[in-house]
């Protein structure tokens, strides 16, 4: 394994790729990982893990550049302004890589056309958080409370996983919830901790430390099975809302047109970085589930997710401006 990883590192450092000209992923220019969220969320954790590991392998700086907000437009524009040479990557979750284009007809980027899949990153089951002191202890409590007053729920942004799950729950329960969009998971979680909002759908990873310190509680798991981190929390199916289910997936992509050989080497390197014991231990403890796919398989997955959610939004006539 060590020999293989060394070979991978050497290939990336050499940076040769197919084509009429040969370029190099070497030199003084740092590699940039664009992140469409502010610091502190799960995407930031992954981007930092990748930057550290790639930096060690490539022998030059790998920096994380934060471009939050604007439904991912800022990060997408920054990527598309760079040459398709593998020196600039984008780390994002499924909203930017899939669902935003389905929700916003006027979106100024199309992940299916403008990006090329590089590598999948750990996935995380979504859970339903409420403040620890909240009187809401179940989905039934939440729905009952919504009959008395309008409940506000935090989202990681319009079209995000949290937004979608909130709408799924509203549809399933015949309830009205008011989504409050934030520029990523971290600020949404901050306001939930401050009891400025009533609930939040997010991955188990970001909020687990606050569950363990009795600042938040998980009242449901939006996935097919209970989680060992919160064994007392029923699944949404057990709570009577089986349609409210979603696993949050992340990925690394490059600009479309990046040579296949470069994409393949980056895929191998990122996979090796995420397989390091320090990363597998850290992310597994937070409930993340690891995925290892080739660029082609990950691209097919993105296309299939786009088809699935596109049909869902069309059926429910969900469109955002």
CA distances, 11 to each of 28, 49, 222, 266 (Å): 17, 20, 41, 9
Indicate the pairing of strand 247-255 with strand 88-93. antiparallel
Residues 118 and 132 in one domain: no
Report, as an integer, the average pLDDT of 276-302.
93
Same domain, 114 and 132: no
pLDDT band at 80 (very low <50, low <70, confident <90, very high): very high
Contact (Cβ atoms closer than 8 angstroms) between residue 235 and residue 241: no
For residues 50-72, give the mean pLDDT. 91
If asked whether residues 116 and 8 sit together in one domain, one would say yes
Query: Count of alpha carbons within 13 Å of 270, Cβ hemisphere only?
Result: 34
Domain-located, residue 235: no
Containing H/E element for 316? helix 295-316
Taking 60 as the threshold, does the pLDDT of residue 23 lie above it?
A: no
User: Domain containing 202 — which CATH number?
Assistant: 3.40.190.10
Residues 6+ apart with CB under 8 A from 313: 99, 102, 103, 319
How many separate domains does the chain show?
2
- Structural domain includes residue 227: no
What is the reported pLDDT for 28? 62
- Residue 150 has what DSSP assignment? P
Question: Is residue 7 pLDDT above 80, yes or no?
Answer: no
Q: Is there a single domain that holds both residue 16 and residue 118?
A: yes
Q: φ and ψ at 93, to 5 degrees?
A: -100, -175
Q: Return the SS3 of 33.
A: strand
pLDDT at position 128 over 70: yes
Specify the CATH number for the domain of residue 273: 3.40.190.150
Residues 129 and 156 in one domain: yes
Q: 46 in a domain, yes or no?
A: yes
Q: Which of 221, 240, 270 is the endpoint of a domain?
A: 221
The answer, yes or no, to whether residue 1 has pLDDT greater than 90, is no
pLDDT tens digits, 136-166:
999 999 999 999 999 999 999 888 889 989 9
pLDDT(11) > 50? no
Tokens of 223: 């996935």
Write down the mean pLDDT value for the chain: 89
Residue 71: pLDDT band (50, 70, 90) is confident
- Does residue 41 sit in the same domain as residue 93? yes
- Looking at residue 184, what is its pLDDT? 87
- What does pTM read for this prediction? 0.82
Q: For tokens 């604007």, what's the residue? A: 70
Contact 279, 49 (CB under 8 A): yes
What mean pLDDT do residues 305-318 have?
Answer: 86
Helices 42-58 and 2-14 pack at an angle, to 10 degrees, of: 80
Q: List the domain range (segments joined by +) for residue 204.
A: 125-221
């Amino acid at each position: 394994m060590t020999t293989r990883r060394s070979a991978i590192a050497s290939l990336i450092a050499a940076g040769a790729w197919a084509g009429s000209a040969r370029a190099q992923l070497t030199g003084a220019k740092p590699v940039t990982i664009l992140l469409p969220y502010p610091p502190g969320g799960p995407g930031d954790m992954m981007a930092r893990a990748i930057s550290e590991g790639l930096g060690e392998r490539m022998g030059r700086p790998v920096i994380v550049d934060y471009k939050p907000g604007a439904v991912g437009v800022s990060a997408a524009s920054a990527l598309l302004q760079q040459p398709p040479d593998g020196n600039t990557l984008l780390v994002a979750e499924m909203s930017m890589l899939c669902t935003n284009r389905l929700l916003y007809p006027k979106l100024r980027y199309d992940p299916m056309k403008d990006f090329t899949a590089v590598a999948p990153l750990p996935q995380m089951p979504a859970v339903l958080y409420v403040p620890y002191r909240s009187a809401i202890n179940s989905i039934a409590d939440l729905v009952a409370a919504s009959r008395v007053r309008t409940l506000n729920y935090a989202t990681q942004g319009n079209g995000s996983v949290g937004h979608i799950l909130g709408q799924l729950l509203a549809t399933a329960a015949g309830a009205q919830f008011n989504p409050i969009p934030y520029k990523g998971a971290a600020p949404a979680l901050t306001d939930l901790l401050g009891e400025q909002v009533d609930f939040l759908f997010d991955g188990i990873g970001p909020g687990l430390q606050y569950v363990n310190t009795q600042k938040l509680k998980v009242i449901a798991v939006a996935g097919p099975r209970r989680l060992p981190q919160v064994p007392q929390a029923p699944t949404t199916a057990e709570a009577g809302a089986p349609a409210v289910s979603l696993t949050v997936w992340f990925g690394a992509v490059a600009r479309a047109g990046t040579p296949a050989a470069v994409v393949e080497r980056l895929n191998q390197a990122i996979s090796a970085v995420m397989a390091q014991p320090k990363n597998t231990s850290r992310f597994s403890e937070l409930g993340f589930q690891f995925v290892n796919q080739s660029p082609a398989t990950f691209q097919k997955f993105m296309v299939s997710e786009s088809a699935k959610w596109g049909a869902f939004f069309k059926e429910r006539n969900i469109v955002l401006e």
